[in-house]
Amino acid sequence: NAGVTQTPKFRILKIGQSMTLQCTQDMNHNYMYWYRQDPGMGLKLIYYSVGAGITDKGEVPNGYNVSRSTTEDFPLRLELAAPSQTSVYFCASRLRVGADTQYFGPGTRLTVL
């Protein structure tokens, strides 16, 4: 299994541009999450999904959108990029909540200039 994969690894955007961060997992996990991590800080939850077709906001959803059309894919869309969105973005998945492990992707480092 590849686990959780994310593309791209790095990206530089200009203010006002849009982009989609891709996330795919091959473990047939129901739950998927998008986090962002600012320098020297812990991770903050942007959006999550409990299954295909079901998504909901986390702590910091403003400026982002998600969709979950399949179990495997959970893309994160940035509309009208702003410098405050400069961060490292991590996608994660887990089979079930409570005891189970959450698996993280390698991250996408995004800079908005």
Partner 1 sequence: DAKTTQPNSMESNEEEPVHLPCNHSTISGTDYIHWYRQLPSQGPEYVIHGLTSNVNNRMASLAIAEDRKSSTLILHRATLRDAAVYYCILGTNAGGTSYGKLTFGQGTILTVHP
Question: Using the rule CB under 8 A, which residue among 81, 92, 110, 112 binds partner 1?
Answer: 92
Binding status of residue 103 toward partner 1 by CB under 8 A: yes
Choose between 17 and 52: whose C-beta lies nearer to partner 1.
52
Q: Are 94 and 102 in contact (CB under 8 A)?
A: yes
Task: Show the beta-strand stretches assigned E in 1-113.
Answer: 4-7, 10-13, 19-25, 31-37, 43-51, 54-57, 64-66, 76-78, 87-94, 103-104, 108-112
Nearer to partner 1, 14 or 98 (CB): 98
Residues that bind partner 1 in the complex, under the rule CB under 8 A = 4, 31, 33, 35, 40-45, 48, 50, 56, 58, 90, 92, 94, 96-107
